Structure formats: structure tokens, C-alpha cells
Amino acid sequence: MNEQVWVALKIRRGELFVAKTLGESRLLALLLRLIEWHAQATTDRWSAVYEHGRFLEEWAAPEVVNRLPEVFPRYDASEILNARFAALALFRRLAEETGARLGYTYPRELEDTVMNWVRTLAPESEGSRPTSGSI
């Protein structure tokens, strides 16, 4: 969660390159790992999951594939932040479903607290940010 605060601060300071490259690469690596776990935990049949997201469009859930375009921003503060919120919303949904199948509970309250604080750090021009209920 502290990474979300770090990225929000970088965007607020105008450090878009750092927010986009370092922040995005770490988040996408974690999201890919969760997409892999989700595919394996929620499929009744054996499914080949290839490394580095190869053939992801074939083995990931269709909902995941359909939501991926909103996860990849251009070099723009608003897009970086909105794409990050979209990636985190997808992460949360997959983590809750995958965790439930494996007997774990997602720390929703902790995430809500951190994400609400991150929204306060985000640049003021971000009128299209999701509300706390959407992440």
C-alpha cells in the first residue's frame, strides 16, 4: 500500500517519468501474478499459464482481458493516475475472488483507508478519479 502513496506523491510533484515507469512496472508485475493465480484458482479445467503474460488473452478470464486497456496509460498525469486506480480495482476484484476460493479474506478496510488517503495526495485536477466504493 505504501507504493500507492509514493506514486501519488510523484505525480503531485510532476515526476511523471518515475511514476509511470517505476510505479507502473511494479504494479503490472503484481497484477500479472494475480491474473495467473486467478486463472488457476477459478478454472475447473487445467489451464496453461505462460510466463511473462504470453498468450494471456487465451488463458485469462475474458473480464480481465476486457479491462486491460484501461490499465495502460499514456505519459499524462491524469491518465497515469486513472490507469493506476483501474489496475488497483482489477487487482482488488481478482484478489477477493481468488482469496475466497483459497480461504483468505481480502483486507478491504485497510485498502480503503490507504486509497482514500492517496486520493487526497493526487493532483487537484483529477475530477474523474473513482470514488472509494469503486476500488
Domains assigned to the chain: 2-126 (1.20.120.330)
- Give, in degrees to the nearest 5, the angle at Cα 135 between 97 and 61: 40
pLDDT tens profile 86-97? 999 999 999 999
Confidence of residue 45 (pLDDT cuts 50, 70, 90): low
Query: Mean pLDDT for the chain?
Result: 85
Nine-digit cell at 61? 478470464
pLDDT tens profile 46-79? 667 888 999 999 999 999 999 999 999 999 988 9
CA distance 66 to 28: 16
- The residue written with cell numbers 484478489 in the block is 95
Nine-digit cell at 132? 472509494
Our CA dihedral for 34, 35, 41, 47, rounded to 10 degrees, sits at -140
pLDDT tens profile 97-108? 999 999 999 999
Find the largest Cα–Cα distance for the chain.
47
Query: Residues 6 or more apart from 35 whose CB is under 8 A from it?
Result: 53, 56, 60, 64, 94
- Distance set, CA 16 to CA 12, 20, 27, 68 (Å): 9, 6, 15, 21
